[in-house]
Amino acid sequence: RCILVATDKDVVHKGSPDRQAELATRPTAGTAIVAIDRNSFAVKVATLAEAADIANRLAPEHLEIHIRDAASHVDLFQHYGALFIGHHAAEVLGDYGAGPNHTLPTGGTARSFGGLSVHTFRRMRTWLRVDDLKASRDMVEDAVALALCEGLHGHARAAQARLV
């Protein structure tokens, strides 16, 4: 699915004749035309901030930013599988050329997950050590209160036992 979000109405409307001419020369034109006609659209927005808000809500697998000084606006975009910054950073290069990844979150899951990486295969472990009972008193009392709010009386008593 291809979604164009632009602040310029001419950019939104310009794509159609150019797209038809380019698609006609593809060996897979039939498939591409159906995919674009059924699953793609363009949106005209008033500001770059509005465009970023739409992109962040969609959390796309691939997000290309084609604006002047694109690198200075990267912080507006938070949720994407892979970000392609500027006119020369085409999505196809991310998939097949320069990297960084071809296994990316789809269907809006980029709001919560990144692409597959070596970190995916790392086992993250956490641990807790409390040496100063006096300094930890507020934390333990908070744990008791939260456990009671959740109705977990055994948890509350386990925390209370540390208040000795």
Residues annotated catalytic, as ranges: 61-62
Find tokens 């055994």 and name the residue: 154
DSSP string computed for 95-114: HHTS-S-S----TTGGGT--
Residues 6 or more apart whose Cβ sits within 8 Å of residue 147? 153, 155, 156, 159
Greatest Cα pair distance in the chain: 79
For residue 67, the number of C-alpha atoms closer than 13 Å in the C-beta half-sphere is: 19
What's the angle, vertex CA 35, arms to CA 39 and CA 91, rounded to 5? Answer: 85
Q: Measure CA 98 to chain center.
A: 20
